[in-house]
Structure formats: C-alpha cells, structure tokens
Amino acid sequence: MEKMWALAPAFVEGIPQGKALGIKFVSVDVGKATFALPYSTKIIGDPATRVIHGGAITTLLDQVSGLAATAAIVSEANDINIANVATLDLSLDYMRPATPGETVIGTATCYKTTHHIAFVRAIAHDGDINDPVAMCQATFMITRHKPSNPEAVS
C-alpha cells in the first residue's frame, strides 16, 4: 500500500505543468488522491484581483483525477504496473474564483471501475469542501497488462 505513493510524481512534480504551478502531492489511497496548489504570485491570472489563473485549477483537477483512477486500478492487483489509464473524457464546472492567498485543494475519488473504464469525481476548494471552486467528472480508459510482479506494491 505504501508503495502506491510511488505513483504520485508522474502526476505532479514529475510533469512540467505540475512543477511550474507548484502543485504538491498530499495523499493517495485506494481510489482516492489529494493534491494542493499553494498560492503564489507566479500563478496569479489577474493582477487587479490577485486571483489565480483558472487554468491552474484545470491542471490540478486533471492530474488528481488521473492519480485517483490509477490508484483504484493498481490497488485491485497490488501492482503498480498492472495497468495504464488514459483520460477519455473530462468535464469541469467552475463555480467561483479561488480566494487570493489561499491554498487550493484538489481531491478526487474513483467511485467505479469496470474492465475498461474508471469513473472519477473531483472537487477543488480553498478550505471548505462545501463551497467548491470547481467540480470535475471524468472517465478514464484502462489498459490492463499481465501482472508484472506481484510484489511490486506491498
């Protein structure tokens, strides 16, 4: 289980847009993942309001959803090489600007998997999950491999 954390860099610090935005890995669990986007001047989209750029929220939700889907599949077989997931569809609604100065949390749950598809919902908020900044509904195509090494994740 602990080794599932090894997946995270591929979704955050290990990708150029995640690193550039300063997205941080918070946690991963079976079908769940959470990232944080700390407030910083480099991600301000509107100097007048100091609100961060909406595209940073898109990247946050896209990435955290992908990790949740992967974490759902991987945990079934306890093998981080058991499958690849690729985004099939991503639908995002944006409720309001994130509050200047606040860290934005992106948290995703993979609530259903079939043989081919993983279904994920994600929320971005800046402290109160009941007052979201953005919502996300996503599907991922799963390509399952033969078990590579049953000991890979333990």
CB of 153 to a second copy, least distance (A): 19
Q: Is residue 152 within the footprint of a second copy (CB under 8 A)?
A: no
The verdict on 78 binding a second copy (CB under 8 A) reads no
* Distance from C-alpha of 9 to C-alpha of 2, rounded to nearest angstrom: 14
Residue 24: count other Cβ atoms within 10 Å of its Cβ. Answer: 15
Q: Is residue 89 close enough to count as binding a second copy by CB under 8 A? A: yes
The number of residues in the chain equals 154
Applying CB under 8 A, among 34, 107, 109, 139 the residue interacting with a second copy is: 139
Interacting span for a second copy (CB under 8 A) from 25-33, 70-78, 100-108, 126-134: 126-134
Instruction: Find the shortest distance in angstroms from Cβ 148 to a second copy.
Output: 12
Should residue 13 be labelled a site residue for a second copy when binding is judged by CB under 8 A? no
Should residue 145 be labelled a site residue for a second copy when binding is judged by CB under 8 A?
no
CA distances from 47 to 43, 57, 97, 121 (A): 10, 17, 13, 31
Start-to-end CA distance of the chain, whole Å, equals 5
Neighbouring residues of 111: CB distance < 8 A, sequence distance ≥ 6: 31, 119, 120, 121
Return the residue matching tokens 């890979």: 152
Chain residues that interact with a second copy, rule: CB under 8 A: 10, 15-22, 42-43, 45-46, 53-56, 58-59, 62-63, 66, 84, 86-97, 111-112, 114, 116-117, 119, 121, 130-132, 135, 137, 139, 141
